[in-house]
A and B are shown apart, each in its own frame.
Chain A
Amino acid sequence: MSYVKIEGVSKYFGSTKVLNNISLSIEEGEFITLLGPSGCGKSTLLRAIAGLNDLSSGDIYVGDKKITHLPSKDREVGMVFQSYALFPNLNVFQNIAFGLKMEKMDKEQYTVKVEEMVELIDLKGKENMYPGQLSGGQQQRVALARALIKKPKILLLDEPLSALDAQIRRTLRNEIRLIQRKLNMTTIFVTHDQEEALTISDRIFVMNHGDIEQEGGPRSIYTSPETEFVARFIGNYNVLKKSELETTGARLVSENELFAIRPEAISIFPLAKEGHNMDETINIICEAEVVMSTVLGNVMRFDMDVKGIGITVDALNESKIHWIKNGMTVQIAIPIEECKGLRIPS
C-alpha cells in the first residue's frame, strides 16, 4: 500500500498544459526525486502537493486521506524552499519554533523539541542569531529544521541546494539524506541537477514537458535510459540513429530506431598491425579519428569522428591512455549490449 498517491493530475496555466495526467506513488519513508529541466512541471507538481497551487484535475492522497482540496496549513507537509524563505525578523530558535507556536504549544514544551532539532542540524550555539547573520548552508539547515519540527507526513524539498556553493551543496546533500533516513521521513525532492538526483534518491522520476518520461532507481535510470530525452539529460550519452550506428559497421537485430551509448562503455585501443583481441560478436569495432580531447578531472573525454558521425568516449584519466593524441586514428570498441534502444515518446 503506497503512502503518497498522485492520480491523474493535470494542471493548465491558461491554455498551457504544465502537468499532463501524472500518476505516481511513493512508499512510506522513501526518498524520491522529481528531476527535469526548468519548466518541466516538477515544481508545479511539488507545489500542488503542498497546496500552494491548485490542480485542474486529478487527486492527491497521503495515507488514506485525500488532500487535493485541503488548505496548505491542514496538509501536514513540510517544505524547504530554494531561497530558504526564513522569517527575517525571527532568530534561529523562533524560526524553528514557529510551526509549534502556531499550534499553541507551550513554550516549555516546544523549547525541548526545538533544542533537539538544533542539535540534529548541528547549529548549537546559534539559536539567537538572525537569518541575515548565517551563511546560506546554515540558513538552509534552519529551514530544514523548521519544516521537520512538526513531524510532517511528507517533506517537500524544492531545489534546496541550488543556491549554495558546490562544496556545501555536497555536504548538505549527504546530511539531508542522513536526517531523512534517521527520521524515516517520506521525502519528495525537486532538482534539475542529475548528479544530485542520482546520489540522493531511492527512486527518480525524470520529467519533461509535464510528463514523467521514466521512473526507476538511480542505477537503472543512469544505465538504461528509455527515451532520447532521458539519455541526453541524465548523462553524456551518444544518441545515434539506427542508420548511423550501422555505418560504423554494426549489425543490430532490433526494432528500435534510436540508440543510446554511454561514453564510458566504449573502449579505445591503438590501430595495431596484428589486429585486436576484441570479440567481434559482442562488440562493434571501428576506426575513429580523435578530434578533440578534454580533461574533466578524473576522466578524459574524447570527441571522435567515425565516418562523419560524432561519438564521445570517456576514459579514466590514467597514464595508460596518455598515448592518445588529437588527430590520431584509433580503434574503438562499442559493446553491443551497451547500445540501448530508445522508445520514441508518444
Chain B
Amino acid sequence: MARTGSSKSKIMLMALVPLLIWVFAFEIIPVFQMVVMSFQNSDGLGFTLDQYYKGLTTSLYLEAMKNSIVISINSSVAAMIIALFVAYSITRFTTGIRDQLLMVSNMMTNFAGVPLAFAYMILMGNNGALLLLLERMGVEAAGSFDLYSQTGVTQLYIYYQTPLAILLVYPIFYGIRTEWKEAASLLGASTWKFWRYIGIPVLLPGLLGTFSLLIANALGAYATAYALTGISFNLLTIRIAALVSGDIFPNFQLGSALAVILAIIMIFSLVVNELMLRWSRRRGT
C-alpha cells in the first residue's frame, strides 16, 4: 500500500514540473537577475553598493519613494474608511442585492490602469465634462481642480482601491456574530461599548491585513498614474520604468536597485499582514 502511495505521489509531483519551470523562468530567475544587477556598476560589472547609495541619496528618487508611500497610505486610508461603511451596509442587505453589489464591486476592482485614467480625463481633465458642467452650475472650485496633480492621482487610486477594499472587508464583518452583540447587551454593554471592547478588536487584525494589502496594491501600481501623467508625476514605479525603458540613457542597474527597494517596502507591508493574521488565529477566531 505504502509503495503505491509513494509512486502515486511521485506521479502527482510530475504534474508540478510545468509549474516549477514556469515559476523559475518567469519569477525566480528574473528576480535573481534583478538582485544581482542592483549590485553592479552602471556598466554591468563588479560588485558595488553605488546604485543603492544613489537611489537612497538622490533627491529625485527619495521624492519618488515618499510620493509612492504617501499616495499608497492616503488612498488606502480613504478606501478603508469608505469600505468600512459600504461593506457593513452590504451585510445588512438581502442576499440578492448583496450579490449584485459585490459583482459591481468586483468589476470595478478590475477597472484600473489606462481605461480608468482616460475615463477620468474625459470627466475631470482640463476640459472634463463633469468639471465644465459644475462650472456652468456655478461651482467655482471646480475650475481649479487639477487632475494631473497629486490630488488627482490620489483620487484615481482611491477609485480603484475602494472596490477592492470592499471585497476584502465585507467577509470580515461576517466574523461578527449576532450572539456576541446579544450577550454583550445582556451583560450591560451599550452598542458603543460592544464595538469598543469586542467588535473592533475582533475586526482589527483583518482590517489591518486588508490595509497592508491595499498599500502593496497601490505601491506596485504603475499604469494608472503613467497613463494620466506620463513620467511627470514622480512615483517610484514610474522612475523605475523610466530608467529601464524611457530614458535616453537607460540604467538597468539603478532601476534594479530601486525595484529591490520597492520590493522591500512591499514585503514589509505583507509581513505586517501575516503577523496580524497570526495574532487573530492565536485567539481562535
Contacts and interface: CB of A to CB of B under 8 A. Distances in A.
A24 interface: no
Contacts of B180: 85, 87
Given A52-B182, A98-B189, A130 B177 contact: no
| Most-contacted residue by chain B among A87, A132, A143 (CB, 10 A) | A87
B284 A131 contact: yes
Interface string B258-285: 0000000000000000000000001111
Interface in A84-140: 85, 87-90, 98-99, 102-103, 130-133
Contacts, number: 76
Given A98-B189, A102-B189, A103-B188, A72 B285 contact: no
Contacts of A217: none
B202 interface: yes
B284 A132 contact: yes
B151 to A, nearest CB: 38
A132 B285 contact: yes
Interface stretch (A73-81, A208-216, A302-310, A336-344): A73-81
A21 interface: no
B285 A88 contact: yes
Contact of A85 (B183, B190, B197, B284): B183
A143 B186 CA distance: 12
Interface residues of A, number: 29
B201 A85 contact: no
Contacts of A103: 188
A240 interface: no
Contact of B188 (A81, A88, A102, A131): A102
Contacts of A301: none
A79 B186 contact: yes
A133 B281 CA distance: 11
B179 A83 contact: yes
A50 interface: yes
A90 B193 CA distance: 14
Interface in B106-137: none
Interface string B168-189: 0000000001011011111111
A21 to B, nearest CB: 26
Contacts of B139: none
B281 to A, nearest CB: 8
A150 B177 contact: no
A50 B179 CA distance: 12
B185 A130 contact: no
Nearest to B283: A130
Nearest to B193: A102
B198 A73 contact: no
11 contacts: A51-B185, A51-B186, A52-B186, A72-B185, A73-B190, A79-B182, A85-B177, A85-B179, A87-B180, A99-B188, A131-B283
**Top-6 shortest CB links A-B:** A132-B284, A85-B179, A99-B187, A102-B188, A89-B201, A72-B185
